[in-house]
Amino acid sequence: MSDTKTQARRVFEQNERCPIRNVVAQIGDKWSILILFALVDGPDRFNALKSRIQGISQRMLTQTLRDLERDGYIKRTVYPQVPVKVEYELTELGRGLAKPAWQLVSWADDHFDEINAARTRYDEANKQ
Amino acid sequence: MSDTKTQARRVFEQNERCPIRNVVAQIGDKWSILILFALVDGPDRFNALKSRIQGISQRMLTQTLRDLERDGYIKRTVYPQVPVKVEYELTELGRGLAKPAWQLVSWADDHFDEINAARTRYDEANKQ
DNA sequence: CGGAATCCGCGTAGATACTG
DNA sequence: CAGTATCTACGCGGATTCCG
């Protein structure tokens, strides 16, 4: 509880070192979580990921993979054959992140109907 | 585990009804989580929130509060006095969301040094 | 196959001014 | 006090083209 308090205070620091602002900024983007979950079952190749994650562009897949690699969540391995083969896999850190991330998404899934109901109610009450 | 599999498959649906894309889009923005955590200890007023959450603008606070209210995470109460007093508080749903969200942030906090180390290592290896 | 580079539109979010 | 309204800019992200 005192530990919780300590962290709660840090929530509102504008600081670059605020873990909340940092992690939300990093994995709160459009594709990070999706890529993370795409790799929980094992390594995969670039184009395989691209076709599994509907709607992602080549550009964003490359860019997001780089960012995740930079933060240590993903390991990139190049097999120097022709044509080249590149595999991406979660690191220990990446698998660690996937757990609480999954808890959150799982909660969202369980309460999806409830959220949609609230949305409809709100829109109904505030419509023209 | 079979339950996990079922959800894992739904990860990659481009569908609007995909809970992952939905929740990430909603609370993955710059301020939602911060506001959520700002209210876990009890209700608070608009300007009090504004000064507690460093760097947020009036516009974004209003807008994000509306979005959270729409999804049922927050209840807005107006006390018709002069000047008017408006209080925001978490709903049961909001408190429910705060739990897994806190787990995630807590994990990020615990591994913040490790992530920063990976970043430095990556930048070092790829600098020029 | 797995990118890099470039161009560009559109939405998010900041700043500012005004209001019940 | 708690907003609304408007204007603007910056960057996210999509589409396209080219390359080792």
Question: Which residues of chain A make contact with B114, given a CB cutoff of 8 A?
Answer: 72, 93
Q: Across the interface, do B107 and A99 touch by the CB < 8 Å criterion?
A: yes
**3-state secondary structure at position B26:** helix
What tens digit of pLDDT does each residue of A86-113 get?
Answer: 999 999 999 999 999 999 999 998 999 9
Q: Across the interface, do A115 and B72 touch by the CB < 8 Å criterion?
A: yes
pLDDT at A120: 94
What tens digit of pLDDT does each residue of A109-122 get?
Answer: 899 999 999 999 99
Which residue bears the tokens 């080549």? A58
Q: Mutating which of B7, B16, B20, B123 best tests the A interface, going by the most A Cβ atoms within 10 A? A: B20
* DSSP code, position B20: H
* B127 Cβ within 7 A of any nucleic strand C atom: no
Tokens found for residue B16: 């609007």
**3-state secondary structure at position A50:** helix
CA at A27, C1' at C10: how many angstroms apart? 22
Tokens found for residue A72: 């240590």
Residue/partner pairs of A78-82 with CB below 8 Å, 24 or more apart: none
Q: Min CA distance, B56 vs chain A (Å)?
A: 9
What tens digit of pLDDT does each residue of A3-56 get?
Answer: 444 444 445 666 667 888 888 888 999 999 999 999 999 999 999 999 999 999
> Nearest-CA neighbor of A72 among A86, A90, A57?
A90
Residues 26-85 of A with CB under 7 A from strand C: 45-48, 58-59, 62, 65-66, 76, 83-85
* Gap between the Cα atoms of A107 and A110, Å rounded: 5
Burial B59-96 (b: 16+ CB within 10 A, else e): ebbeebbebbbbbbbbbeeeeeeeeeeebbebbebbeb
Number of H-type helices and E-type strands within chain B:
7, 3
> Nearest-CA neighbor of B93 among A111, A83, A1?
A111
Say if residues A89 and A45 touch (Cβ distance below 8 Å): no
Nearest nt (C1') from B88 Cα: D2
B20, HSE (Cβ side, Cα atoms, 13 Å): 26
What tens digit of pLDDT does each residue of B68-114 get?
Answer: 999 999 999 999 999 999 999 999 999 999 999 999 999 998 999 99
Q: Min CA distance, A87 vs chain B (Å)?
A: 18
